[in-house]
């Protein structure tokens, strides 16, 4: 089981490929942003804080029932985004220093981070629609940030 868990870190979104005899088959795409477990503080630094794409950070615990209910909802919604946003899972029992640093007072807690900055925060078990709306806001804000940066680049080229 741990081998499957370790191998899953190499892959990204799970996408439905096709239905064969009524059974859905899934393909994992490596070219998109990953859904991954944070292994170390250095891993968090490299894959979350330095990410140019928005990253949803899911602070959870193995003993937390709402966390277990939230996880598949998050994974499905992030998978729908087709690489626009990433999902980093942080176990607060293994990485209490990260939970303390980001002032996680309850689990599940979700943060949206981009370029090292916390853009948005959500706590507790949420409906799928509430999570989808929250993520859509993060993706929209990313597009606005990118558009402003592109406009700034155009201005500096012609100055």
Task: Tell me, yes or no, if 86 is annotated catalytic.
Answer: no
Nearest Cα neighbor of 46 from 125, 113, 129 is 113
Q: Give pLDDT, residue 1.
A: 41
pLDDT at 27: 37
Q: How confident is the model at residue 17 (pLDDT cuts 50, 70, 90)?
A: very low
Residue 47: its pLDDT value, please? 94
Q: What is the pLDDT of residues 53-99, one digit of tens each?
A: 999 999 999 999 999 999 999 999 998 888 889 999 999 999 999 99
Question: 7, 12, 33, 64: which one is catalytic?
Answer: 64
- Catalytic residue from among 12, 33, 67, 86: 67
CATH code for the structural domain at 35-148: 3.40.30.10
pTM over 0.75: no
Q: Please indicate whether residue 33 is annotated as part of the active site.
A: no
Mean pLDDT of the chain: 78
- The residue among 67, 77, 64 whose CA lies nearest residue 35 is 77
């Amino acid at each position: 089981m741990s081998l499957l868990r370790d191998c899953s870190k190499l892959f990204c979104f799970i996408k439905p490929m096709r239905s064969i005899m009524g059974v859905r088959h899934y393909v994992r795409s490596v070219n998109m942003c990953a859904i991954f477990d944070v292994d170390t503080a250095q891993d968090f630094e490299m894959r979350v804080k330095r990410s140019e794409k928005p990253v949803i950070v899911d602070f959870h615990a193995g003993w937390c029932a709402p966390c277990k209910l939230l996880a598949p909802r998050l994974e499905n919604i992030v998978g729908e985004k087709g690489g626009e946003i990433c999902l980093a899972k942080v176990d607060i029992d293994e990485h209490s220093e990260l939970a303390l640093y980001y002032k996680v007072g309850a689990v599940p807690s979700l943060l949206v981070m981009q370029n090292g900055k916390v853009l948005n925060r959500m706590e507790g078990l949420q409906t799928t629609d509430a999570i989808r709306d929250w993520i859509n806001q993060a993706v929209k804000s990313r597009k606005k940030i990118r558009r402003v940066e592109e406009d700034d680049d155009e201005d500096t080229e012609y100055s």
